[in-house]
C-alpha cells in the first residue's frame, strides 16, 4: 500500500485529491495539510511514501517545504510530487532545484495523478518534456544573466555525461536513453546514479533543472 500525504491550501482540492487516491486499491491517504509548514509536520508524523504538494500556499510554499523535507534526514527519502499550473514558472524551477521528484499540472486526468504516485514510489521521476522544457527555457532565459549565478557544472562532464543529461532533459526514460545511445538500461541507470553523486543533485528531476542551467540540453 502506497501511503500519501496531501498538502494544498484549498480544502476542495484536498478533498478531490483524496477521493481520487483513495479510490485506488494500492494507494491510501494518511494525512493532509493546508500549508507547507503544516505539511512538514504531517509528513514527520505520518511517515508517508509520497507527498502530493501544491506550490502556492500561505505561511510556507511548496518549494520551501520540499527543500526542508529533503534536508531533514527523517524525511529525505519521501517522494514529492509537486502540483503546478502553467503560470507557476518560478515555482516549478524552484521545486526541481529543491529536489522534487515530479511535477504534475493541476488539470491532469485522475489516472495521470495515480500513475505518477506509483511511478515516483518506484524510484522514478515524472517530467512532462513539453511543459518542463517550456517552463525551464522561459524562466532560465531570464535568470541566465543574474550576477553570481553558476552557469558551469561543478565537475567536468564527458561527452557521454552530456548525452545522458541532454536525453534526461528531453524527458527520456532509461530504456529510451539506452536505445538512443546503444547502452543497456542498467548502464544508463548507473550513469545517472554517478551523475547524481558527482554533481550533488538529490534527484533525477533536480539533475534535469541543472542540465538546463548548464546549457546541456540540445
The CATH number for 200's domain is 1.10.10.10
Residues 91, 199, single domain; the answer is no
* Domain presence at residue 133: no
CA distance 160 to 180: 12
Average pLDDT over residues 4-12: 96
Segments forming the whole domain that contains residue 108: 2-126
Using one digit for the tens of pLDDT, what is the confidence trace for 85-126?
Answer: 755 666 777 777 788 888 888 888 899 899 999 989 988 777
C-alpha 142/C-alpha 151 separation (Å) is 13
What is the pTM assigned to this prediction? 0.71
Q: Which three cell numbers stand for residue 92?
A: 516549478
- Give the model's confidence band at 136: pLDDT under 50 very low, under 70 low, under 90 confident, else very high: low
**Beta strand segments in 47-160, E:** 50-54, 79-84, 102-105
89 assigned to some structural domain: yes
Q: Does one domain contain both 171 and 114? A: no
Regarding whether 78 and 13 lie in a shared domain, the answer is yes
Which set of grid coordinates corresponds to residue 199?
A: 554533481
Do strands 27-33 and 50-54 pair parallel, antiparallel, or not at all (unpaired)? unpaired
Indicate the length of the chain as a whole number.
218
Residue with cell 553523486: 197
The pLDDT of residue 207: 82
Q: Is the pLDDT of residue 18 over 90?
A: yes
Confidence of residue 217 (pLDDT cuts 50, 70, 90): low
Residue 107 pLDDT: 82
Q: pLDDT confidence of 201, banded at 50, 70, 90? A: confident
Do residues 100 and 120 touch, judged by C-beta distance below 8 A?
no
Q: Over the stretch 179-188, which tens digit does the pLDDT of each residue have? A: 999 999 889 9
114 and 162 together in one domain: no
For residue 4, the SS3 value is: strand
Residues 112 and 155 in one domain: no
Residue 209 lies in a domain: yes
- Residue 126 confidence (pLDDT): 78
Q: Which residues contact 211 (CB under 8 A, 6 or more apart)?
A: 165, 166, 168, 169, 217
147 pLDDT above the threshold of 50:
no
Mean pLDDT in residue range 174-181: 89
Is the Cβ–Cβ distance between 169 and 211 less than 8 Å? yes
Q: Which of the given ranges, 116-120, 150-154, 201-205, has the highest pLDDT on average?
A: 116-120
User: Is the residue at 67 inside a domain?
Assistant: yes
Residue 100 neighbours by CB distance under 10 Å = 32
CATH number for position 105: 3.40.50.2300
- In-domain check, residue 81: yes
**Cell numbers representing residue 131 in the block:** 511543459
Grid cell for residue 45: 508524523
CB 95 within 8 A of CB 202: no
Do 75 and 183 lie in one domain? The reply is no
114 Cβ partners below 8 Å, 6+ apart? 20, 21, 24, 27
Using the predicted structure, report yes or no on whether residue 52 has a pLDDT greater than 50. yes
Specify the higher pLDDT residue, 104 or 138.
104
Residue at 42 is within a domain: yes
Q: Are residues 153 and 122 in the same domain?
A: no
Amino acid at each position: 500500500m502506497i501511503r500519501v500525504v496531501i498538502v494544498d491550501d484549498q480544502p476542495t482540492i484536498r478533498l478531490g485529491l483524496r477521493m481520487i487516491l483513495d479510490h485506488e486499491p494500492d494507494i491510501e491517504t494518511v494525512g493532509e495539510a493546508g500549508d507547507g509548514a503544516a505539511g512538514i509536520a504531517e509528513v514527520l508524523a505520518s511517515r508517508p511514501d509520497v507527498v502530493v504538494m501544491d506550490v502556492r500556499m500561505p505561511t510556507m510554499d511548496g518549494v520551501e517545504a520540499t527543500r526542508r523535507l529533503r534536508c531533514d534526514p527523517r524525511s529525505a527519502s519521501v517522494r514529492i510530487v509537486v502540483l503546478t499550473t502553467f503560470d507557476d514558472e518560478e515555482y516549478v524551477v524552484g521545486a526541481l532545484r529543491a529536489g522534487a521528484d515530479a511535477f504534475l499540472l493541476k488539470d491532469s486526468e485522475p489516472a495521470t495523478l495515480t500513475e505518477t504516485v506509483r511511478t515516483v514510489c518506484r524510484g522514478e521521476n515524472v517530467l512532462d518534456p513539453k511543459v518542463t522544457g517550456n517552463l525551464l527555457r522561459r524562466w532560465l532565459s531570464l535568470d541566465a544573466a543574474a550576477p553570481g549565478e553558476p552557469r558551469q557544472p561543478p565537475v567536468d562532464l564527458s561527452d557521454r555525461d552530456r548525452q545522458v543529461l541532454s536525453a534526461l532533459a528531453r524527458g527520456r526514460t532509461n530504456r529510451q536513453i539506452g536505445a538512443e545511445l546503444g547502452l543497456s538500461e542498467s548502464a544508463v541507470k548507473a550513469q545517472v546514479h554517478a551523475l547524481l553523486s558527482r554533481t550533488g543533485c538529490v534527484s533525477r528531476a533536480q539533475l534535469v533543472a541543472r542540465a538546463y542551467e548548464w546549457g546541456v540540453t540540445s
